[in-house]
Amino acid sequence: MQDEITIEKNPAKEKRKKMIRIIIGVVIGAILGFGYYRLVGCSSGTCPITSNPWISTLYGAVMGAVVAGV
């Protein structure tokens, strides 16, 4: 007979790990969004996301949160 080992998960610790992962995703996404604005950008100014550094950074942060939360 084998003894079964049960591992109890701490819900607070799991929630904290998920929150840290999302925060890291937001930071990385914001950096990549701003980098995309700086490196690719929009020369005509008609691109809704890449013509403004604030919008590009915010969009990158949101996308980073979404990807990290999956």
Distance CA 14, CA 19 (A): 9
Report if residue 10 sits inside a domain: no
Residue 63 half-sphere exposure, CB side, CA atoms within 13 Å?
14
Report if residue 29 sits inside a domain: yes
Query: What's the domain range around 54?
Result: 20-69
Between 18 and 11, the more confident residue is 18
What letter would DSSP give residue 52?
S
Chain centroid to Cα 10, Å, comes to 24
Report if residue 28 sits inside a domain: yes
Report if residue 26 sits inside a domain: yes
pLDDT for 53 beyond 80: yes
Report if residue 2 sits inside a domain: no
Distance CA 70, CA 12 (A): 19
* Number of independent structural domains in the chain: 1
Report if residue 12 sits inside a domain: no
Q: What is the mean pLDDT of residues 25-52?
A: 90
Using left for φ > 0, alpha for ψ between -120 and 50, and beta otherwise, residue 45 falls in left
pLDDT classification of 28: cutoffs 50, 70, 90 = very high
pLDDT for 4 beyond 90: no
